[in-house]
Structure 1
Amino acid sequence: AYAEMFYRDINRFHESFERVDVMPLGSGALAGLPYNLDREFVSKQLGFAKVSKNSIDAVSDRDFILDYNYASSVTMMHISRLCEELIIWSTDEFGFIKLSKEFTTWSSIMPQKRNPDFAELARGKTGRVYGNLFALFTILKGLPLAYNRDMQEDKEGFFDTADTINSTLDILVSMLDTTQFNKQNMLDAVNNSYILATDIADYLVSKSVPFRKAHEIVSKMTDYCLDNNKYFHQLTIDEFKKFSSDFEIDIFEINPINSINNRNTVGGTSELQVKNSILDIKSRIKSIATKYA
């Protein structure tokens, strides 16, 4: 899921680059030049794809910075979401991952606790990048044509955003490379839960039970399990049949792995689809890298 988010971010930056690949040189202060300047020739010599079409717009335009700040804001939002996942998963309550000591610090009061500092800082710096985007929106919203001195305020936020996102991405890559995943804790969390309730309802539907009725049956089963401190996989076939005679011994074939692999539509969570998605995203990223190399 995050690979798809970051892939869209890559595209967003490249689309922004294509829009900014315009040479304003020759626009003068606002009305063009009285000299015989071959702008197309100069544009090619400087490596621009095209020249600006209107001199007044060229000197007063800051859309290219808004584009960059917006693309950066969306990317930081995606980074922030990922970091929030990492923060939650690294807690003792979950224990799904262990962050490298390089990216954590000791708690100032609890000697046993390590704080996921980088993940929290990345989450916090997202607001800073948002602020740079909205600051420029606010600067530009009431400006008449053409250049106004207000526009000199565009640079501080732009460079701050560039520095912030570049450093954040650099450290994020290193943090992910060194993160350890606790597969057993993840499996235990799935087994010791009621996450397969919908699968059991779908099982009953496959036995010609209307979904409305199947939903009601599994809801009552869940209450029973909670009252008796049990999970679905700990129930006997006789306990299952107390709630519906449609349950057969094959109900025990429902487990987390089968549940995942049953979601075998394109983009689904089955092992096959996830492998295909990994190959696909790698191919798409390679294609972009080749295009803009």
Structure 2
Amino acid sequence: MAQLWGGRFTKSTDQMVYDFNASIGFDQKLFAQDVRGSRAHVKMLASVGVITDAERDEILAGLDSIEADVNSGKLEITSEYEDVHSFVEANLIDRIGDAGKKLHTGRSRNDQVALDMRLYTRDAVETTAEDLKHLLGTICGIMEEHIDTIMPGFTHLQKAQPITLAHHMGAYFEMFKRDVLRLNDIRERMNYCPLGSGALAGTTYPLDRNMTAQLLDFYGPTLNSMDGVSDRDYLIEFLSALCTIQMHLSRFSEEVIIWNSNEYRFVEIDDGFSTGSSIMPQKKNPDIAELVRGKTGRVYGALMSLLTTMKGIPLAYNKDMQEDKEMAFDAMKTVQDCIVLFDGMLATMTFNKDVMANSAKNGFTNATDAADYLVNHGVPFRDAHGIIGQVVLYCIDKGIAIDDMSLEELKAISPAFEEDIFDAISMETCVNKRLTIGAPGHDAMVNEIKECKAFLA
């Protein structure tokens, strides 16, 4: 097929060079965005008198027919074309003749691909934010249901203090909330239209760039034509946000994997989101959580790839920038799939409340509260710390929890203990007397859940 740019060349491109140069294999994902941008462009061209209204209508009808045929499968985007832009324009000329040749007036493939990628990324930003909001809704529901479900909180993967499942889930709500806010910020910054920048220096045609921007739901046009065609900051920002989202999902997945283990048994993963072993019939594996954790690396790779590609590119457009797509497309789909699948797994997961509560009780998570009890009974903190250390050693030796000790056993270690110690170190007391903002106490969590619902609303 003759190339749209072939007029200056006296012989055809070597086939291997053509294949290496072509982007149709991946940029066909931009088909819908390319057609949308072309519609806006021809409407603007007609409004400023560069083409006639009749030519506009002919081009728009041709674009409609191409889009309908592609969507129905009647027309296939093939490697016969160098890129998606060539595919659309060549088919338009085939269908409507000379009027189709006017589609590209006042436009370069440089600003065309810059527009298409920006539109595609904006769509992906919005879809990702909606997926995250759905996940946040699932987390908020678990928080409401398990506001009084006691479990151990951990530091260094060791039991530290008693908290609730609602409190633990609230930490992930905050992480994914920040992710949504980051995506909103990215959309605000990227929502300017590069179409009309031309190859790098604008055009002599009297383009109405404000009209084009408005037709495509942008806030306005980009303000420098060189930056318009060579900016990929918005994509780097989005990939960075995707890396952070995936990191949060990976952390959460790691906990699900631990909680699902025989040693913890905090959760039961629904059969629909786990698999078995080909040789060990007793196994039920947390495959979704493991795959989410594993796919994090490929998302990180997309960001590093684009940062490395962009670091040495002089102004304005260079062919290196074609490398902004394949890994970015993969990262966008990977994160969206991970969010949706993790959401489904979490929504169907069963939490073993009794196991969690016993784990908190048997892990000396109330030791800090026992020390605070002694302080409140006149014992200096450093002495109280040492006394509770002796209590813990005694319990380890006996194979019991602090709660299981008798008052006589406690008094044998320190006479400061009284009958009220048992209420002071009950799991419920340890949790519910923590009522500062952000703490796990019942009343504090009620307020936190209200804040979560307000954010989702």
TM-score by length of 1: 0.95
Query: What is the letter of the counterpart of residue 354 of structure 2?
Result: Q
Amino acid at match of 2:318: N
Q: For 1:277, which of 448, 451, 455 is the aligned residue?
A: 448
Pick one of 158, 163, 169 that aligns with 2:333. 163
Q: Deviations over 1:35-81 (max 9, x none)?
A: 22221222222211121111111111101111111111111111111
Cα distance between partner residues in 1 of 2:277 and 2:409 = 48
1:200 and 2:370 are equivalent in the alignment: yes
Equivalence for 2:352: 182
> What is the CA deviation profile of residues 248-290 of structure 1, one whole-angstrom value per residue up to 9, with x for unaligned ones?
110010211110101111111011111221121111121xxxx
What is the identity, as a one-letter code, of the residue corresponding to 2:340? D
Shift of residue 178, structure 1, vs aligned partner: 0.8
What amino acid maps onto 1:202 in structure 2? D
Which residue among 64, 75, 83 is the counterpart of 2:245?
A: 75
Q: 1:108 aligns with which of 271, 278, 287?
A: 278
Shift of 1:230: 2.2
| C-alpha distance in 2 between matches for 1:37 and 1:55 | 13
Cα offset, 1:144, TM superposition? 1.1
Check the 8 A contact 1:72/1:129 in 2, yes or no.
Answer: yes
Larger relative contact order (CA 8 Å, sep ≥ 6): 2
C-alpha separation in 1, matches of 2:380 and 2:231: 60
Work out which of the residue numbers 396, 401, 414 in structure 2 matches 1:231: 401
Q: 1:60 aligns with which of 230, 235, 252?
A: 230
Aligned partner of 2:434 among 240, 260, 263: 263
Matched letter for residue 52 of structure 1? T
> Does residue 8 of structure 1 match 2:178?
yes
1:145 aligned partner:
315
Q: Give the counterpart letter for 1:245 in structure 2.
A: P
Report Cα offsets for 1:212-257 as digits up to 9, x if no partner. Answer: 1111111111112212222201111111112222111100102111
Aligned pairs, number: 286
How far off is 1:117 after superposition?
A: 0.5
> 2 CA distance for matches of 1:238 and 1:280?
46
1:121 maps to: 291
Amino acid at match of 2:448: S
Could you list the runs of 5+ residues in structure 2 that have no partner in the other structure?
1-170
Q: Distance in 2 between matches of 1:240 and 1:122?
A: 47
Q: Quick one: distance in 2 between partners of 1:226 and 1:173?
A: 39
Measure, in 1, the Cα distance between the counterparts of 2:271 and 2:215. 50
- For the pair shown, the structure with the greater C-alpha radius of gyration is 2
- Detail structure 1 runs of 4+ shifted over 3 Å in the superposition: none
Q: Is the 8 A contact 1:7 1:285 kept in 2?
A: no
Amino acid of the residue matched to residue 336 of structure 2? N
**Partner in structure 1 of residue 217 of structure 2:** 47
For the residues of structure 1 that align with 2:333 and 2:214, how far apart are their CA atoms? 30
Could you tell me which amino acid in structure 2 is paired with residue 231 of structure 1? A
- Compute the TM-score of the two structures, normalised by the length of structure 2: 0.61
Distance in 1 (CA, whole Å) between partners of 2:202 and 2:377 is 77
2:455 and 2:337 map into 1 onto residues whose CA distance is 25
Instruction: Measure, in 1, the Cα distance between the counterparts of 2:264 and 2:278.
Output: 22
Distance across 2 between alignment mates of 1:109 and 1:215: 50
- Determine helix, strand or coil for the equivalent of 2:183: helix
1:131 has 2:301 as partner: yes
Query: One-letter code of the match for 1:77?
Result: M
* Aligned mates of 2:431, 2:225 — CA distance in 1: 58
Give the partner amino acid of 1:262.
K
CA–CA distance in structure 2, aligned partners of residues 45 and 153 of structure 1: 28
Alpha-carbon distance in 1 for matches of 2:349, 2:399: 34
1:2-29 CA distance string (max 9 Å, x none):
0111111111111111111010111111
Deviation string, structure 1 residues 84-123 (Cα, Å, up to 9, x no partner): 1111111111111100111111122221011111110000
Write the distance in 1 (CA, Å) between the matches of 2:337 and 2:399. 48
1:121-179 CA deviation, whole Å, 9 max, x = no partner?
00001111011011111111111111111110010011101111111111112111111
CA RMSD in angstroms comes to 1.1
Instruction: State the shift of 1:208 in Å.
Output: 2.1
The one-character-per-residue Cα deviations of 1:185-213 (angstroms, maximum 9, x if unpaired) are 11111122211110101111111222111
Deviation at 1:180, TM superposition (A): 0.7
Which residue, out of 379, 384, 402, partners 1:214? 384
In 2: Cα distance, 1:133 partner to 1:66 partner: 7
